[in-house]
């Protein structure tokens, strides 16, 4: 996991300079790079397409932007950081006094060395983001202002990677691709999702896993609109965001609160003894609020470390590659793998010898446990599985009711199934 953590961190650093937004070439370049790790199916949805209650907006692209003083020196330069430009800024080429320019400048007075992240997706506007200390140092006078951007009919771009399972029922894993140079809020989630998909591809999962790389809000809404007729196939889901900071893990439950993914994450986090927090659902945050909107009401939760807007560096230049750690991303990935290992094995079984307790010894089931350090626990797991295999209780139910580790229960079910005593 140490090596994988370093690989994920390297991916974050590679993606960090790119200027992403809800549309545009920055998103495409990001997906091209992810496509070096995974085969992706890329979708282009034209401007003007109706997606539920929304409409796909015009596509935004930017080549250069700066504010230059009277000597021609660039005092704010998009080439230094994609955060320096208000997202979706319309083109501008003008010279104006500092007093007029100030109306279009965004800073963080409480953190004078940080640059904020700001956007104006659905209102024609332009602007620059800069450190408060940079603004304080600007003398009065005229400044050249230039934003070389285009806002025109084009496409919204999102991508999917599908890992076929033994059944067509799906687990979706979703991450947002719309933020510019922000390492934790955006890129760590992309990196963890990518390496999670690579790990699952080496297995033969029970469920079909669909990874969705899409711009926040409008991207998830677009995906839902285009998949509404097959949405019943989605049985579980997880949104990944803020996956790389050094804070404790936070799982935000689905709207249902008792969806299987909620129970699995609660169980896995508690059993791992990691410091963690279980948060109730709120209709605010990342794209879980789209998947959990009442018309869809999917069992989709959200896994992060420090949650949405919960750290000072959020949506600022301080959310850089140094803010995220390989160890934290590896830990987030490990929890995802542990959770999906439970989800993939959680079945309901039927006891084929339900009248009285079947004789386990003559079937060699007790002998097979000989030498195990947890022999008594394994025997108890068999008895619990037999007793609750009534077609109504899942292995997760068994683990919760018995207090036994899920892995122990799952191994017991495997042994009982092989002996012909239960069937899925």
What pLDDT digit, counting tens, does each position of 24-65 carry?
999 999 999 999 999 999 999 999 999 999 999 999 999 999
Asked if the model's pLDDT at residue 372 lies above 70, the reply is: no
Does the annotation place 84 within a ligand binding site?
no
Does the annotation place 9 within a ligand binding site?
no
**For the segment 336-367, what is each residue's pLDDT rounded down to a tens digit?**
999 999 999 999 999 999 999 998 888 888 76
Which whole number is the average pLDDT over 106-126? Answer: 97
Asked if the model's pLDDT at residue 376 lies above 90, the reply is: no
* 155-184 burial: b if 16+ Cβ within 10 Å, else e: bbbbbbbebebeeeebbbbbbbbbbbbbbb
Asked if the model's pLDDT at residue 297 lies above 90, the reply is: yes
Domains of the chain: 2-56+155-345 (3.40.630.10), 59-152 (3.50.30.90), 348-423 (1.10.10.10)
Question: Which pLDDT does position 2 carry in this prediction?
Answer: 87
Which whole number is the average pLDDT over 138-152? Answer: 97
> What's the pTM?
0.96
Which whole number is the average pLDDT over 284-302? Answer: 97
Question: Which pLDDT does position 360 carry in this prediction?
Answer: 87
Which whole number is the average pLDDT over 383-402? Answer: 96
**For the segment 20-33, what is each residue's pLDDT rounded down to a tens digit?**
999 999 999 999 99
Please name which of 197, 172, 223, 238 lies closest in space to residue 43, comparing C-alpha atoms.
223
Asked if the model's pLDDT at residue 273 lies above 70, the reply is: yes
Asked if the model's pLDDT at residue 254 lies above 60, the reply is: yes
Asked if the model's pLDDT at residue 369 lies above 60, the reply is: no
Cβ neighbours, 10 Å, residue 402? 18
Longest CA–CA span in the chain (Å) reads 94
Q: pLDDT exceeding 70 applies to what percent of the chain?
A: 98
Going 146 to 149 to 151 to 153, the CA torsion angle's sign is positive
Question: Which pLDDT does position 367 carry in this prediction?
Answer: 63
Whole-number Cα distances in Å, 324 to 36, 242, 350: 22, 9, 46
Asked if the model's pLDDT at residue 368 lies above 60, the reply is: no
Which whole number is the average pLDDT over 192-210? Answer: 97
Does the annotation place 277 within a ligand binding site?
no
Cβ atoms of residues 241 and 308 within 8 Å = yes
Question: Which pLDDT does position 267 carry in this prediction?
Answer: 96
Cβ neighbours, 10 Å, residue 288? 27
Asked if the model's pLDDT at residue 308 lies above 60, the reply is: yes
Confidence at 390, pLDDT banded by 50, 70, 90: very high
- C-alpha 183/C-alpha 12 separation (Å) is 6
**For the segment 171-190, what is each residue's pLDDT rounded down to a tens digit?**
999 999 999 999 999 999 99
Torsions phi, psi for 396 (to 5 deg): -65, -40
Residue with tokens 């249902």: 256
């Amino acid at each position: 996991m140490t090596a994988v953590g370093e690989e994920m961190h390297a991916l974050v650093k590679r993606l960090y300079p790119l200027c992403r937004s809800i549309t545009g070439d920055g998103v495409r370049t990001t997906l091209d790079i992810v496509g070096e790790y995974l085969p992706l199916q890329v979708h282009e949805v034209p401007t003007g397409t109706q997606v539920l209650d929304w409409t796909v907006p015009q596509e935004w692209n930017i080549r250069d932007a700066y504010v230059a003083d009277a000597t021609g020196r660039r005092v704010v330069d998009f080439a230094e950081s994609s955060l320096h430009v208000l997202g979706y800024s319309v083109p501008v080429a003008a010279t104006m006094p500092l007093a007029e320019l100030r109306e279009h400048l965004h800073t963080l007075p409480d953190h004078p060395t940080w640059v904020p992240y700001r956007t104006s997706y659905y209102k024609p506007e332009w602007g620059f983001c800069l450190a408060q200390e940079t603004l304080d140092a600007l003398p009065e006078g005229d400044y050249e202002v230039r934003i070389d951007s285009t806002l025109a009919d084009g496409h919204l771009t999102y991508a999917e990677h599908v890992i076929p399972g033994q059944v067509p029922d799906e687990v979706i894993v979703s991450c947002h691709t719309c933020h510019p140079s922000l390492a934790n809020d955006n890129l760590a989630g992309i990196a963890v999702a990518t390496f999670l998909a690579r790990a699952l591809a080496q297995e033969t999962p029970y469920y079909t896993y669909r990874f969705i790389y899409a711009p926040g809000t409008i991207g998830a809404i677009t995906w839902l609109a285009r998949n509404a007729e097959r949405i019943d196939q989605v049985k579980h889901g997880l949104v990944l965001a803020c996956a790389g900071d050094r804070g404790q893990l936070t799982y935000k439950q689905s709207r249902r609160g008792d969806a299987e993914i909620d129970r699995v994450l609660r169980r896995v986090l508690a059993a791992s003894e990691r410091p963690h927090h279980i948060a109730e659902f709120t209709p605010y945050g990342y794209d879980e609020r789209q998947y959990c909107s009442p018309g869809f009401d999917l069992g989709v939760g959200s896994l992060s470390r420090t949650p949405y807007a919960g750290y000072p560096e959020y949506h600022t230049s301080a959310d850089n590659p140094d803010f995220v750690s390989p160890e934290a991303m590896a830990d987030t990935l490990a929890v995802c793998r542990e959770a999906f290992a439970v989800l993939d094995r959680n079945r309901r079984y039927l006891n084929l010898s339900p009248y009285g307790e079947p004789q386990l010894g003559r079937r060699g089931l007790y002998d097979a446990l000989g030498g195990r350090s947890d022999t008594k626990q394994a025997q108890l797991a068999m008895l619990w599985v037999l007793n609750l295999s009534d077609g109504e209780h899942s292995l997760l139910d068994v683990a919760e009711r018995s207090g036994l580790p899920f892995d122990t229960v799952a191994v017991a079910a495997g042994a009982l199934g092989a002996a012909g005593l239960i069937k899925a």
